[in-house]
Amino acid sequence: MTGTRTTGRRERLRAETTAEIKSTALELMRSGGPDAITLRAIAREMGMTPNAIYGYFATRDDLVTTLIADVYSALADAVDAAWAASAQDGPARRIQAWAHAFRDWALANPEGFRLVYGDPVPGYRAPDGGAAPDAAQRVCVGIAALADAAWEDTEPAFPKSEFTWDDFDPGLLGKVRPAFPDLPPAGVALALRIWGHLHGLVSLEIYGHLRGQTPSPDKLFRSELDQLVGSLGLKG
């Protein structure tokens, strides 16, 4: 019993240190950009020697890979939660809830947004499988859910679509079609386009390109959403 408890303590300590390494890395990135993620800087911040980190991550790229996966998951959690929380509402409100969760997360975690959607950390080589395919797909499926929720109300307003299943990669369809069997190819295209709209405004804002244009990006984003649900024929 003592044995298991003390083993538990070691494990807990280990988990805590691992978490601290990751959060320190993100903090560094927040204040110093993506190139601030260095083992030495993290160690310095934590008051340890650089080599101590090798007890937790085999290599710097391993740490970055984990970081990307973690951050992506956090984003997916945030938008999924907003989606679930709005289950009682109509499609227009749900889309707005999702979109605001997306933007709010990005504003609260700009370094995470850059890590996931921007340039890679200098010198970073992703492992063979590609980074964080899991959470990336969760986000994609989430956006497909937006399109699916809107689709039945909006379809008539749409031009007869020239899209077919061949216009999308099997990897995407393998997730989306089982989840939303009624969504036609044009609906998937709509999902990607909605993604583009949201990504565009948010990334302009995160990267500071809206500074100097408007003091109220918030208002602009809301207006974009109103217009979006309006153009889908949904009533807010």
The residue behind tokens 């008539």 is 156
The whole-angstrom separation of Cα 225 and Cα 219 is 10
184 binds a second copy per the rule CB under 8 A: no
Residue 212 contacts which entry, DNA, a second copy, none (Cβ below 5-8 A, type-dependent): a second copy
Residue 209 contacts which entry, a second copy, DNA, none (Cβ below 5-8 A, type-dependent): a second copy
Task: Kindly tell me which residue out of 27, 45, 61, 167 binds DNA, with binding defined by CB under 7 A.
Answer: 61
**CB 102, CB 198: distance < 8 Å:** yes
Please list the helix, strand and coil fractions of the chain in percent, rounded to the nearest 5, in that order. 75, 0, 25
Buried b (16+ CB within 10 A) or exposed e, 14-43: eeebbeebbebbbebbeeeebebbbbebbb
Residue 94: how many CB atoms within 10 A of its CB?
23
Binding mask 16-55 for DNA (x = CB under 7 A): -x-------------------xxxxx--x--xxxxxx-xx
Least gap, CB of 35 to a second copy (angstroms): 4
The site for a second copy, by CB under 8 A, has a size of 50
Instruction: Indicate the residue among 101 and 210 with the shorter CB distance to a second copy.
Output: 210
Residue 39 contacts which entry, DNA, a second copy, none (Cβ below 5-8 A, type-dependent): DNA
Task: Kindly tell me which residue out of 117, 155, 177, 184 binds a second copy, with binding defined by CB under 8 A.
Answer: 117
Binding mask 46-85 for a second copy (x = CB under 8 A): ----------------------------------------
Residue 61 contacts which entry, a second copy, DNA, none (Cβ below 5-8 A, type-dependent): DNA
The residue behind tokens 């030495």 is 40
For residue 15, what are its two tokens?
Answer: 């988990």
The whole-angstrom separation of Cα 67 and Cα 192 is 25
